[in-house]
Amino acid sequence: MNEQEVLETFKTIAKYYEEYLKDYGVKLVKLKDSKGNYTKDALVLVYLARNYPHTQAVSKGELTEFIRAFYPNVSDVQQAVQQARHLSKQGGFYIVSGTRGDIGQKIPAGYYQLITLEKPYPSFKPDRRSGIESADFESLKKEYDYKCATCGSVEGEPHNFRKNERTILQEGHMNPALPLEFGNVIPQCQVCNRPDRDRWIYDKTGRVIEIADSDDGKRVVEKYFKRVSTHTKEYFLEFLKKLLNIK
135-177: pLDDT as tens digits: 788 999 999 999 999 999 999 999 999 888 899 999 898 998 7
The pTM assigned to this predicted structure is 0.56
Q: Which of 89, 60, 90, 96 is nearest to 77 (CA)?
A: 60
Predicted local distance difference test score (pLDDT) of residue 105: 65
What is the distance between the alpha carbons of residues 96 and 109, in angstroms, rounded to a whole number? 11
Predicted local distance difference test score (pLDDT) of residue 79: 59
- Per the CB < 8 A criterion, the answer to whether 149 and 138 are in contact is no
Best CATH choice for the domain 3-120 from the list 1.10.3470, 1.10.10, 3.30.300, 1.20.1630: 1.10.10
Can you point out the beta strands (E) in the chain?
58-59, 93-97, 111-120, 169-173, 185-189, 200-202, 208-211
Predicted local distance difference test score (pLDDT) of residue 42: 92
Strand 58-59 and strand 111-120: the pairing is antiparallel
Question: Coil, helix or strand for 88?
Answer: helix
Cβ partners under 8 Å of residue 74, min gap 6: 64, 67, 68, 80
Portions of the chain given CATH number 1.10.10: 3-120
Predicted local distance difference test score (pLDDT) of residue 182: 83
Cβ partners under 8 Å of residue 37, min gap 6: 70
Q: Which stretches of the chain drop beneath a pLDDT of 50? A: none
